[in-house]
Amino acid sequence: MTDLMQTYNRLLDHYGPRVWWPAKTPFEVVIGAILTQNTNWNNVEKAITNLRRAEALSADVILNLSIEELEQLIRPSGFFRQKAERLQLFCRHLHQSHQGSLGKLLEQPLNRAREELLQLKGIGPETADSILLYAGKRPSFVVDAYTGRLFSRLGILTGTEKYDQIRELFMAHLDDSVQLYNEYHALIVIHCKDVCRKKPLCPDCPLGDICAYKQQNS
Ligand code: SF4
């Protein structure tokens, strides 16, 4: 589907490369992917800063913290009880199934690694694909609410598709490239935050001439 590459190229020309994900290590990506659920990134950064100061950015240390200590460290990210439990469950799984190695989990065949992640409590498809793509450098396209909004407005989606249908559409029509998937997701996020908002700023949009929503509403 050339529309997907055309949209990508327009966004890349307009915004330039975004160079995601903002993390120093693959394990930090996992922490961020779990903590970012239902909150904004500023709050996640505060929680990660707390973990860094406590030298708790590793599976071993997170498992050795009491649940109360972990809750306090990640409190700024919201839903901290639920997220502390999820972080420790993830770290326990790494230890029990992969000798504590995130690399071993993520270097399995893509579908097997994804299924394994999806079986862990609190890891849904968006979190699993973020971990695979940004921590594991595996070609698994990340879909989020912004993706649904933008591509429905463009007329490429109907708005009724489920997560896996959208992911499969992108993966079927784009080259199997980690860099492309990485950049594309980041560009969708910046475009939907800055321009294709809930109330879209269509006059400023680099996609205006290929957008069904704009054509219907102008
Ligand atoms: S023209 Fe408007 S609705 Fe279409 S992608 Fe741009 S901002 Fe969104």
pLDDT tens digits for range 115-133 = 999 999 999 999 999 999 9
Nearest C-alpha to atom 2 of ligand 1 is from which residue?
202
Neighbouring CB atoms inside 10 A of 95's CB total: 13
Closest CA to 4 of 178, 207, 203, 214: 207
Burial (CB < 10 A; 0-12, 13-18, 19+), residue 43, is middle
DSSP code at position 199? S
Neighbouring CB atoms inside 10 A of 182's CB total: 21
Q: Which of 214, 217, 218 to mutate to test the pocket of ligand 1 (most atoms within 8 A of CB)?
A: 214
Rg of the chain on CA atoms, in Å: 18
Segment 186-204, tens digit of pLDDT:
999 999 999 999 999 999 9
Residue 207 beta carbon below 6 angstroms from any ligand 1 atom: yes
The percentage of the chain sitting over the pLDDT mark of 90, rounded to a whole number, equals 93
Segment 124-181, tens digit of pLDDT:
999 999 999 999 999 999 999 999 999 999 999 999 999 999 999 999 999 999 999 9
Q: Quick one: average pLDDT of 67-81? A: 98
Residue 11 beta carbon below 6 angstroms from any ligand 1 atom: no
Could you give all domains of the chain from N- to C-terminal order, each with its CATH number? 2-19+142-217 (1.10.1670.10), 26-135 (1.10.340.30)
